[in-house]
Structure 1
Amino acid sequence: MKHSYFYIVNGVLGVGLIALYLLFFTSQPSSDQKMQIRFNPGDSTFILPVAYVNVDSLLTNYNFAKDLNEALMRKEESSRATLNQKETQLNAAAQEFQRKLQNNAFLSQERAEQEQQRILKMQQEYQQTAQKLSQEFALEQQKLNLQLADTIKANLVEFNKDKNYEIIFSNTASDNILYADKKYDITREVIRFLNNKYGPATVAPATEKKK
């Protein structure tokens, strides 16, 4: 019996996972602190007060995102175990019913129909449980995604206090920014800042647990 009720997007949470397509900081630094447009004679480019963060890399390396993703995976595993148990019971009951039917083991037609109704009820309960767990998983995923996005935004405001960027863009697999010079990529710097604030991941990845 097939069931495909749960999906985890690789990279926490997936987070479709964070819709951080544009992070704009409303608190502007004072005029003497603002990063100015600078002309660099060496490469004839303007250095603008903007930057971007690679969200895929951020979600992969941010320890808080790792912990949230691990929590989501554990919930998915628990839900799947519950469904697997019910599926096993349902299959066993159906096979036993078929065996008895073939061997004329039921004392009456009425008794066979009662057993058939019991199995149909088990199947209905299985489907209801699957739907309920799927909805709970989706709500938990949404909650964790919002929690992660809010945390990143709040920390980036603090990060930007002495950086004075006017805009920090997000970039996912080069979908949002077609081209940008590497000097505008502050992903590693942001990850370092976030992990220093959060600390080490509290849960070891699944691959490490098996060692």
Structure 2
Amino acid sequence: MQIKIVHGNAVAPHIPDLACLRIEVFRAFPYLYEGSEDYEARYLSTYAASPESLFVLALDDGRIVGASTGVPMADETEAFKAPFAKAGLDPETIFYFGESVLLAAYRGRGLGVRFFEEREAYARRLGRFDWCAFCAVERPVDHPLRPAGYVPLDDFWGKRGYVHRPDLSTTFSWRDVDEAEETEKPMSFWLKRMG
């Protein structure tokens, strides 16, 4: 396994592989995302456009098997910034974690922890952030596509020092695997004060 760090537009050659990875991983519960490579390329372009964005890539024999992203919240879209501004938290003081995606065969090897460590260390090096934050989809416990034995990542995030802030919420639209059209999904944020 190799960990590769890239910033800003240096990610451009990796966008097609990252798009495919995101589509594959997010197809599973709780996201149930019926993705498209075109949408993914547009989504990832927000990160590529920010010179201070971070991509932590996990490679196995040159193939991307996992990735984690981050960007100054000020460089994110309004949909991400608005809940913080509304709550009186300055987006300029927040480093936003976009996602961590990892193929199932590579889980349980410490890469999820490494993704958080790399993003937090980078935010500290930039030296102007009070918070790290990310958001997660909210699905009902009785969702019909929830797999038996599904364990949410809340405990994992809590062990990393993140606190769920359901008062900081937004919605995003995508098409679930069992939907004919896009619908809005509730998302809530998790925060960690930098120290």
Pairwise TM-score range, normalised by the shorter structure: under 0.3
Relative to the length of structure 1, the TM-score reads 0.25
More strand by share: 2
More helix by share: 1
- For CA contacts below 8 A with separation 6 or more, give which structure has more relative contact order: 1
